[in-house]
Amino acid sequence: MRRVAVVTGANRGLGFAISEALATLGLHVVLTGRDERAVVDAANKLLAAGLDVSAHQLDITDPASVARAIADIGFEHGKMDVLVNNAAVAIDRARPAHSADMEIVAATMNANLLGAWRCCIAAIPQMRQGGYGRIVNVTSHMSLLSTMKTGSAAYRISKTALNALTCVLADEVAGDNILVNAASPGLIATRLAYGKAEHAPAEVVDTFTWLATLPDDGPRGQLFHERRPLPW
């Protein structure tokens, strides 16, 4: 039976590229996003290319929206095998921690950490029921403690926290054939880009599709870039 993957923030950029790549590999991909019209339009582009996809509205900052969307997807397809937590915000450009706007910090944490966390909470019971799951959290090189520095503090800390969540969840579900990992795309040309982009989204999807389709003995609780582990 065809695997079912859910990608958040899939109407453009990296999320759209990951969705296209997973569908090309033969998965049914549910593109999700806050703007229903935008995510339906994105799915229609892939449907026109002959790919097996669908669309569903999902706002990661709204607990009710997350619960409803994941339940709907599970009911419609009978299962949920893969979750790619891609949706995120980057709204504190260059802002240092000592002068942070705490409303911006809260909004950043709500999307980048709690949004992914909500999706995991909703998805894991379905994955456990099916005896299979792959969760891929999209993080950033800016999250690495080994190279941590000033600027964009809310974004950096939110993604570092997402890395920690990856480790915790990976350990919790280790006996359920659910593999949880994170990956950084590096500098890519999207609306969230910090600094000069080095690649287009379609050029960096390999690591994400690899983690989304790992064999049962694959890695868990690790952070990757270009299929190589990154120092936390």
Q: Which residues are catalytic?
A: 155
d(CA 39, CA 30): 10
E strands present in the chain: 4-7, 28-33, 53-57, 82-85, 133-138, 178-183, 223-225, 228-229
Phi/psi of residue 75, nearest 5 degrees? -65, -45
How many secondary structure helices (H) and strands (E) does the chain include? Answer: 7, 8
d(CA 215, CA 113): 26
Give Cα 230 distance to the centre of its chain. 17
Phi/psi of residue 32, nearest 5 degrees? -125, 155
* CB-CB contact of 100 with 157 (8 Å): no
